[in-house]
């Protein structure tokens, strides 16, 4: 329940104006903050873009995307949604509230309830559990088109280990580009686009994904 989360304010942190006043009920991860800093530093525009965020958690990344002009669908597991809604109400001016929608999306289960119509897919600190990699990949494959831009921010943990998701699973289906890194905290921001590859006469996203 919401009461288990402690309100914090990012006022104490030195972020640029658009996120410095956010009031969050759950700590955004350093990974989320790194992704937000990247968007602000690179002046990434979300204006007119249809955006979906996976595993929103505190919602900070999606909130910034709304503040930067995006039409954002925040998603996470059902029990997290109240917290996201709270943070949206606390941080997004009512004039932009129409640009924020919150929906349940459990990877591998709910993605087909969503159309593959997004310009941008966002994910911060969502790659940390080996058993969820296949369902997360299926979700990304379903939601994306070759025109979709995907940003995934990832904190490598444990340090310096081989990560099958980034090394093997994603490159089979997506072009990956490392666009930012926070070397002190082992955080990496990847920009992905879907390959236009086909296996036989089947699109690549219909291939079953298995982690061995
Ligand atoms: C470490 S938190 C990151 C939250 C936020 N993106 C951030 O960086 O601050 C991981 C998030 O992924 C969500 N998540 C984990 N497994 C999931 C699944 N199978 N389907 C949907 N969301 C999931 C969790 O509920 C949680 O909100």
Task: Tell whether 201 is covered by a domain.
Answer: no
Number of domains in the chain: 1
Confidence bin at 48 (pLDDT 50/70/90): very high
Q: Which atom in ligand 1 lies closest to the alpha carbon of residue 135?
A: 19
**Lowest-confidence range among 5-14, 42-51, 194-203?**
5-14
- Percent pLDDT > 70 in the chain is 82
Measured between alpha carbons, how far is residue 74 from residues 19, 36, 205 in Å? 17, 15, 23
Q: How far apart are CA 126 and CA 55, in angstroms?
A: 6
121, 126, 188: residue to mutate for ligand 1 pocket, most atoms within 8 A of CB:
126
- C-alpha–C-alpha distance, residues 49 and 58, integer Å: 21
Q: What percent of the chain has pLDDT over 90?
A: 67
Neighbours of 18 (CB within 10 A): 14
Task: Please calculate the CA angle 163-192-85 and round it to the nearest 5 degrees.
Answer: 90
Establish if 174 belongs to a structural domain.
yes
CA 96 – CA 93 distance, rounded (Å): 6
The answer as to whether 205 is a domain residue is: no
Q: Tell me if 9 is assigned to some domain.
A: no
Cα dihedral: 35, 38, 40, 42 (round 10):
-150
Confidence band of 111 (pLDDT split at 50, 70, 90):
very high
The sign of the torsion formed by the CA atoms of 78, 83, 86, 92 equals negative
Which H or E run contains 37?
Answer: helix 30-41
**3-class state of residue 120 by DSSP:** strand
Query: What's the CA-to-centroid distance between 125 and ligand 1, angstroms?
Result: 7
Residue 28 — pLDDT band, cuts 50, 70, 90? confident
CA of 56 to the centre of ligand 1 (A): 6
The CA-atom distances, in angstroms, between 171 and each of 157, 164, 199 are 20, 10, 15
Question: Is residue 39 in a domain?
Answer: yes
Q: CATH code at 103?
A: 3.40.50.150
Could you tell me the pTM of the whole model? 0.88
Asked, for residue 3, whether it belongs to a domain, the answer is no
CA 201 to centroid of ligand 1, rounded, Å: 34
Q: Is residue 65 part of a domain?
A: yes
Tens of pLDDT along 72-102? 999 999 999 999 999 898 888 888 889 999 9
The answer to whether position 43 is within a domain reads yes
* Structural domain boundaries, residue 181: 27-194
């Amino acid at each position: 329940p919401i009461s288990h989360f402690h309100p914090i304010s990012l006022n104490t942190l030195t972020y640029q104006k658009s996120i410095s006043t956010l009031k969050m009920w759950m700590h955004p991860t350093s990974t989320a903050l790194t992704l937000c800093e990247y968007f602000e530093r690179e002046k990434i525009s979300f204006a007119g873009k249809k955006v979906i965020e996976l595993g929103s958690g505190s919602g900070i990344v999606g909130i910034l995307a709304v503040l930067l002009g995006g039409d954002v669908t925040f998603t996470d597991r059902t029990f997290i949604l109240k917290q996201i809604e709270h943070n949206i109400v606390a941080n997004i001016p009512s004039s932009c509230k129409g640009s924020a929608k919150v929906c349940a999306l459990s990877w591998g289960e709910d993605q087909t309830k969503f159309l593959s119509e997004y310009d941008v897919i966002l994910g911060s600190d969502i790659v940390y559990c080996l058993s969820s990699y296949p369902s997360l990949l299926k979700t990304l494959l379903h939601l994306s088109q070759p025109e979709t831009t995907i940003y995934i921010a990832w904190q490598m943990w444990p340090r310096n280990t081989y990560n099958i998701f980034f090394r093997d699973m994603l490159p089979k289906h997506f072009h990956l580009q490392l666009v930012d890194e926070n070397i002190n905290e082992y955080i990496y921001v990847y920009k992905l686009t879907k390959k236009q590859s086909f296996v036989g006469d089947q699109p690549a996203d219909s291939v079953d994904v298995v982690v061995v």
